[in-house]
Amino acid sequence: MADPLWIGNSITAIATVTASAVGFYSAIKINKNSLINDRNKFNDQLLWEKQKIESGLIREHINKKYEIYNQILQVSGEVYVLIHDPIDFHYKNYFDKIRPLLYQNYHLIDDDIRELVRDIDLNYSMEEFAGEMERQYAEKSYASYNKMFELIDGKYLNSTNN
């Protein structure tokens, strides 16, 4: 007959090994889940920091753009560029005072303003090419300059409404 003491010890050994295996497997599973959670928290933190930096850069870009617009508005109040009767455009004041402010941070100004600046430059080139006889280019520059200030005013209104 079999020794009953041996069976009891075997059952204890099997139970101990089984409990150890279950505990070891549980520890691995918990550690794996913990690593995944830590990685997800890190990725979330990284994304949050990235968004924080991007929003700061966007805010800085907008502030610089409005500083440019403020300078343009200030200088346009100090020098005359538009002559109303008869309609004419004072290119010298524009090129000496306004245009340098626009081109100083040209990449920051809005596309619609940039397009009007290029229109004024093109009209000046065309007037220089055609000569003083072609006043239509000065009138186009006059209109583009007025439109530029309407757009800048609109941008201020939109920024205060948001």
Tell me if 154 is assigned to some domain: yes
For the ranges 8-22, 34-48, 60-74, the lowest mean pLDDT is seen at 8-22
Residue showing tokens 């610089």: 64
Whether the bond between 4 and the residue before it is cis, its omega within 30 degrees of 0, is no
| Pairwise CA distance, residues 60 & 68, whole Å | 12
Q: Give pLDDT tens digits for 37-53.
A: 999 999 999 999 999 99
| CB atoms inside a 10 Å sphere around CB 92 | 10
Six-digit token string for 128:
């220089």
- Report yes or no on 53 lying in a domain: no
- Provide the pLDDT confidence category of residue 159 given band limits of 50, 70 and 90: confident
pLDDT tens digits for range 119-138: 999 988 888 887 765 678 88
Residue 126 within a domain: yes
Q: What's the pLDDT score for residue 8? A: 77
Pairing type for strands 82-84 and 87-89 reads antiparallel
Domain-embedded: residue 138: yes
Q: pLDDT digit string (tens) for 70-100?
A: 999 899 888 888 877 787 888 899 999 999 9
Tell me if 36 is assigned to some domain.
Answer: no
Considering only residues 13 and 116, tell me which one the structure prediction assigns the higher pLDDT: 116
Residue 20 lies in a domain: no
Report, as an integer, the average pLDDT of 31-38. 92
Distance of CA 149 to the CA centre of its chain: 23
Quote the domain boundaries for residue 131.
59-161
Name the token pair of 40: 């997800």
- Domain count across the chain: 1
